[in-house]
Structure 1
Amino acid sequence: MGQLVAYIVRTAAGPCLFVTMVLTGIIWIVQALRFVDEIINYDMSTGAFLYISFLLLPQLLPVTMPIGLFCGMLYAYWRLSADSELVVMRAAGLSRISVAKPGLLLGGICAVFVASMTFYFMPLANSTMRDTRFAWKYIYSTIVLREGAFTPLKDNLTVYVSERRPGGELHGLLIHDDRDPGKAVSMMAEQGTMIRSDEGPKILLLNGNRQERDLKTGDVSLLYFDRYNLETDVFSAGTPIRRQKIEERNVAELFTTSSDDVGAAQISKYRAEGHRRIALPLLTIAFALVAVATVLSGEFDRRGSWKRLWLGCIGAGVLQGAVLGLLQAASTEPILIFVLYLVLFGAMGICVYLIRSGAGLRSVPASTAEAAG
């Protein structure tokens, strides 16, 4: 029996891993492209970009692994059925539950893995990713200056950069400063660079001029300079405080946070996110049951088996859509949480019934099994 379990698990694990990796890779590439803009504007290093992109995986795997598990197990059991191996197993005296156990064991392993992602690694990765992006935006790069655009750094301070080069080097700067109510200052420089100091961020201007106009008298003064430090004072109250989002909180915090801490309007979103972390591992088990029930329910008939295959795929799609839709709607209608668990456990119960019921694979005579072998 142990060899049989290992054989079925090995047969299903390969396709499951392959489909999961393909789906995760496709979604990962699409999601990682969002950070290309930060690489350009924040001078983010390639290592930091890869590090942030890697932190997306704990968010993607709980979504892609149930689908990969369903496809892998459906393929494995379908192959066993097409090769008449299931007929031999049934002729050897194995019940439908015994044949289904290896698939359910693999489903349980995947469910534990998904639970580890949703309960621990997902909030940790979200928090680490936001900390890293925050550091590059406000500490390492200090100020975002977009190439070929007028960038307001603060009220009454606008900077235009014609070209940005690696290392934070700026070319073709035009700065208009109206922070002093009594005068307007315009500066032009051939080159510049961002520098950080204890007093705050500054822009070092090279080879330019400074024009100052007194708003009361209208007098204009012109100053040519080789080097000039412009204090930007972007953050008058210091670096902004990064606030923790829902995705960064663990399950215990999602269920124990009170409305006094986050407000009555947000508390339902916290609870819905907590139930989402629980529902995804349960969905993994449900998908494993759907895949097994698709093959083991119904008589062994090559001509009619395609119908069950399509019904199983449609059923898995409907289940996935229902779970995701209920999770989305539960943030505004908490009563739908009950419906969510009813759908999940109801689907599991139906699959177990189909596997155990008399509509499964029929026992065949030993002579038939020998002929099939």
Structure 2
Amino acid sequence: MLFGFFSLVLILVFWVNSAVSLLDKLLGDGQSARAFFYLTLLSLPSVMSRVLAIAGFAAAVFVTNRLSNESELVVVQASGYSPYRLSRSVFVFSIVVTLMIGVLSHALVPMSLREGALRRAELAQDMTAQFLTEGSFVHPGDGLTFYVREITPAGELRDIYLSRKDTTGDRQSFNATRALLVNEQNGPMLLMFDGMVQDYTNSNRTLAVTRFDSFAYALGPLFDTTAVPAPRPSSTDSYTLMRATPEELARLGTTQQEVRTLIHDRNRAPLLAIAAAMIGFATLLAGGFSRFGLWRQIVFAIVLLIVVKILDTSAAESVGRSAQLWFMAYLPAVAGLSIAYGMLWRAANPRLRPLAAVRGDAP
């Protein structure tokens, strides 16, 4: 129950943080709220894979602290249960969390990345969704601005403004009283009637004005109109990658060695969940009973988790730089489990605790 609560809180925090930038981009391009919610839902598997290990750590710390405050741990240990035996339930819990993150990392996250790429490609082709926003200036591309005052029921655009600025500072602007947006074989076209075009050259600061009765402007070169994005290893599930033939790997633009490195890297996050939960439990258990609570042990457990996370980030960078360092992906989990075992060993040998702690806090 507590794991679900902490997971929900962390997922919402990370999800809202990533959704804000996406909301600004999509709505600024004239996309609907439906497209925004669909793309943000596709980002949930990636968010969950990052926060479930932290949620497992928080749940283990919270439960252990409550058991200590209510003296239940003291009673259980007095009945003959060793710290190693008490950690068995936490270990089983961490295995469940690891399996959840493993399914996300190896299957659901690649699937969501693939679906997200397909959806973004569809939105890039949907010129109508990007252009047809009444009374608003939209920016569907870099240096591109479009405005339409009114859209009639027949689909005719009234009083439109289109401006394109390139990297040299040159600008081309169109004004027209009427326009139509049509799809041709070579891409979308904007047909404008009764208007003018203004060409501004930045190098010599000149402005040329040309009036027209009708003008056809190709919009395809302004956008990435690739219908189906090329598949990538990061958006392909691990089972498919492991069974891929050399020809399929060539289409993905990767090699067998890079695939093995990617799968090792995907194992990193699930195994870290075991270390995180065990560190949280073992650190609090090693602190023994205290009338003042276990806040010092909780802070120390958080510090240890931060150290392990720093090791995890360094390991990810090392594996990314060289495929020969694939074993580095497992070092953070090994280091975390070693820390947890050391804390359990300390809890199993209470005579090694400082004498002041035994006199002041221990029962």
Using structure 2 for the length normalisation, give the TM-score. 0.74
Write the letter of the residue equivalent to 1:201. P
Question: Given the alignment, which residue of 290, 297, 322 partners 1:333?
Answer: 322
CA distance in 2, matches of 1:331, 1:239: 31
Q: Matched residues, percent identical?
A: 21
> 1:139: how far off?
4.0
Q: What secondary structure does 2:182 align onto?
A: strand
Does 2:158 correspond to 1:173? no
* Maintained 8 Å contact 1:268/1:332: no
CA distance in 2, matches of 1:45, 1:69: 36
> 1:280: how far off?
0.7
* Maintained 8 Å contact 2:30/2:138: no
Across the two proteins, how many residue pairs are aligned to each other? 326
Question: Given the alignment, which residue of 95, 118, 134 partners 1:108?
Answer: 95
Question: Given the alignment, which residue of 108, 111, 119 partners 1:132?
Answer: 119
Q: What secondary structure does 1:331 align onto?
A: helix
CA distance in 1, matches of 2:103, 2:20: 26
Residues 1:23 and 1:174: Cα distance change in structure 2 (over 3 Å)? closer
Equivalence for 1:161: 146
Unaligned runs of 5+ in 2: 165-171, 199-208, 352-363
Equivalence for 1:293: 282
Equivalence for 1:190: 177
Deviations 1:62-110 (A, max 9, x none): 1111111101110110110111010111223333233222222221111
Equivalence for 2:48: 61
Equivalence for 2:262: 273
Question: Given the alignment, which residue of 52, 75, 94 partners 2:81?
Answer: 94
CA distance in 2, matches of 1:152, 1:300: 62
* Maintained 8 Å contact 1:142/1:201: no
> 1:24: how far off?
1.6
Residues 1:268 and 1:27: Cα distance change in structure 2 (over 3 Å)? farther
Does 2:309 correspond to 1:309? no
Residues 1:253 and 1:165: Cα distance change in structure 2 (over 3 Å)? farther
> 1:162: how far off?
4.3
Q: What secondary structure does 1:330 align onto?
A: helix
Q: Which sits farther off after the overlay, 244-253 or 111-120?
A: 244-253
CA distance in 1, matches of 2:173, 2:284: 75
Deviations 1:221-250 (A, max 9, x none): 9643xxx462516259x9425222342022
* Maintained 8 Å contact 2:182/2:190: yes
Unaligned runs of 5+ in 1: 1-12, 177-184, 212-219, 363-373
Residues 1:200 and 1:335: Cα distance change in structure 2 (over 3 Å)? closer
CA distance in 2, matches of 1:243, 1:230: 31
Instruction: Please provide the CA RMSD for this pair.
Output: 4.0
Structure 1 segment 193-272 matched on structure 2, within 5 A: 193-198=180-185, 200-208=187-195, 223-224=212-213, 228=214, 230-232=216-218, 234=220, 239-240=225-226, 242-252=229-239, 271-272=260-261
CA distance in 2, matches of 1:261, 1:174: 39
* Maintained 8 Å contact 1:161/1:170: no
Does 2:6 correspond to 1:19? yes
Write the letter of the residue equivalent to 1:122. V
Using structure 1 for the length normalisation, give the TM-score. 0.72
Residues 1:357 and 1:252: Cα distance change in structure 2 (over 3 Å)? same
CA distance in 2, matches of 1:166, 1:222: 23
CA distance in 2, matches of 1:170, 1:268: 57
Write the letter of the residue equivalent to 1:297. A
> 1:198: how far off?
4.9
Residues 1:359 and 1:306: Cα distance change in structure 2 (over 3 Å)? farther
CA distance in 2, matches of 1:320, 1:166: 53
